[in-house]
Structure 1
Amino acid sequence: MHAEELLAECDHVLLAFDGPVAELRPVPAAERLRVLIAAERLPKRVARTGDPFVVLAHATTMGPATGRAVYEHLCRIEFEQAGGARVTDGVRGALATLAAVGTRVTVISGLNADAVRSFLVMHGLDMHVRHISARSGPDAAGLPPAPDLVATAAGGDVCVFVGATRADLAAARAAGVGTLRYRRPGDGEPLEPHRNPWFAALSQPVRRLL
């Protein structure tokens, strides 16, 4: 069974934002956040980390105003990242195909929800996306590979998750949701010709669809 046939049988499809929907370019977010608190001597872990939430956690210890300022800057960085991302090849056609058979689509991301929404609206993808399950505040505890965003999005539905990163796929498995891996261009075997490249980039299920 091809991936498009499998997904068409699902009532609800969950899509990771990074990979299946947007080709995000990596950004040095932690480095840019450190600039805001550079006047203070930073612990080694904070000075060397590539994780922006480690920098943010340290900023909150310096006072609530500093924590808010650093988090707001992180959100601006994510808006820039989303704004500069490319639409994943074939996703427009894939979303239209799923919508035509009545499949609901939710996009899941560890980025700020408003940044994700702005990307979908800017590229006209929002008409096919029912819901966004993304970060709404500075707490990183529930982000992938934690299952929280996936479990919230699934809401007890019979669904399948499509993701490209290990963290995203791990989050879906931890939430008890069946998964398909999206293979980025150049990752693995050549894609089948004459098929929508988005559907062709999906692997076989890595666990039973629930």
Structure 2
Amino acid sequence: MHAEKLLTERDHVLVAFDGPVAELRATTPLAERLRTMLGEAPLPRKVARTDDPFVVLAYAATIGPATEQAVYAQFCRLEAEAVAAAPLAPGVGKAFTHLAAAGTHITVIGSLAASAIRTFLVMHGLDAPVRHLAGRTGPDQASLPPAPDLITAAIHAQAVPAQSCLFVGSTNDDVTAARTAGLDAIRYHRPVVSPDADVPAEQNRSWFEALETGPVAARPPRF
């Protein structure tokens, strides 16, 4: 089945933020920038060498709540900078408008701070077709994909059954989270940029063309 038809036949479509909506680019490792806030005392080897900002955040919490809050606030600021500089996925604006016009409810889900995701959607005019969003609300990594928490929370907030939803994601963690939550999932593959530089990416291809047409079967719901 064509991806466009597959999505418009569902009442609700949940879309991962990173990949299908925003093309986040690699920046200076956030963990490295956060470590500068931990003072000059020697750090544990794991913290000193990690590229995972959540490891740094967890260590900051052991120093004290004030340090944890300061480091997390900086993490959110750096994250917001990266999101603000990210371009839209090719064709996503037209695709979302089309889905909304067909009566499909769209929810955007991401591991980033909810405020950063909301700002990006508003900046690019996607806040109208997107009915709901679910993002990180604190420094705890346990609720982020591959855990299904964000997805189950979004479903519960709208009081919809998992069977009426379809998830679109580009990473293994996102797809795993959706399947664990009981949703069918299809994978988004970032399209190769056309060599025709005179044609804007948004007009050069359909967002639906970047989706696999065969859904990934869902696991039994956990709620």
- TM-score scaled by length of structure 1: 0.92
Residues 132-151 of structure 1 aligned to structure 2 (within 5 Å): 132-151=133-152
Which among 185, 206, 214 is matched to residue 179 of structure 1?
185
1:191 maps to what in 2? none
Q: Deviations over 1:27-67 (max 9, x none)?
A: 31111101111412111111111110100000010111110
Tell me how far apart the structure 2 counterparts of residues 31 and 209 of structure 1 sit (CA, whole Å): 38
Q: Are the aligned partners of 1:178 and 1:209 in contact in 2 as well (CA < 8 Å)?
A: yes
Question: Can you give the 5+ residue segments of structure 2 that lack an aligned partner in the other structure?
Answer: 194-202
Q: Are the aligned partners of 2:95 and 2:206 in contact in 1 as well (CA < 8 Å)?
A: no
The two structures, once aligned, show a CA RMSD in angstroms of: 1.8
Tell me how far apart the structure 2 counterparts of residues 100 and 73 of structure 1 sit (CA, whole Å): 39
2:14 maps to what in 1? 14
SS in 2 for 1:22: coil
SS in 1 for 2:37: helix
Amino acid paired to 1:7: L
Q: Are the aligned partners of 1:23 and 1:88 in contact in 2 as well (CA < 8 Å)?
A: yes
Amino acid paired to 1:114: S
SS in 1 for 2:80: helix
Q: Are the aligned partners of 2:182 and 2:218 in contact in 1 as well (CA < 8 Å)?
A: no
Give 1:11 deviation, angstroms: 0.3
Tell me how far apart the structure 2 counterparts of residues 153 and 182 of structure 1 sit (CA, whole Å): 20
Give 1:125 deviation, angstroms: 0.7
SS in 1 for 2:93: helix
2:167 maps to what in 1? 161
Residues 1-80 of structure 1 aligned to structure 2 (within 5 Å): 1-27=1-27, 28-80=29-81
Tell me how far apart the structure 1 counterparts of residues 214 and 135 of structure 2 sit (CA, whole Å): 24
Q: Are the aligned partners of 1:160 and 1:209 in contact in 2 as well (CA < 8 Å)?
A: no
Amino acid paired to 2:16: A
Tell me how far apart the structure 2 counterparts of residues 168 and 181 of structure 1 sit (CA, whole Å): 9
Residue 170 in structure 1 maps to residue 176 in structure 2: yes
SS in 2 for 1:130: strand
1:99 maps to what in 2? 100
SS in 1 for 2:109: strand
Question: Can you give the 5+ residue segments of structure 1 that lack an aligned partner in the other structure?
Answer: 188-193
Give 1:207 deviation, angstroms: 2.1
Q: Are the aligned partners of 1:15 and 1:163 in contact in 2 as well (CA < 8 Å)?
A: yes
Give 1:200 deviation, angstroms: 0.2
Identity of aligned residues (%): 55
Change (3 A) 1:9 1:208: same
Tell me how far apart the structure 2 counterparts of residues 185 and 10 of structure 1 sit (CA, whole Å): 24
SS in 2 for 1:86: coil
Tell me how far apart the structure 2 counterparts of residues 76 and 124 of structure 1 sit (CA, whole Å): 22
Give 1:176 deviation, angstroms: 1.1
Q: Are the aligned partners of 1:159 and 1:209 in contact in 2 as well (CA < 8 Å)?
A: no
Q: Deviations over 1:187-210 (max 9, x none)?
A: 9xxxxxx99521000013342369
Amino acid paired to 2:13: V
Q: Are the aligned partners of 1:16 and 1:107 in contact in 2 as well (CA < 8 Å)?
A: yes
Q: Deviations over 1:140-172 (max 9, x none)?
A: 110011110011122343101100111111111
Tell me how far apart the structure 2 counterparts of residues 70 and 102 of structure 1 sit (CA, whole Å): 42
Amino acid paired to 1:70: V
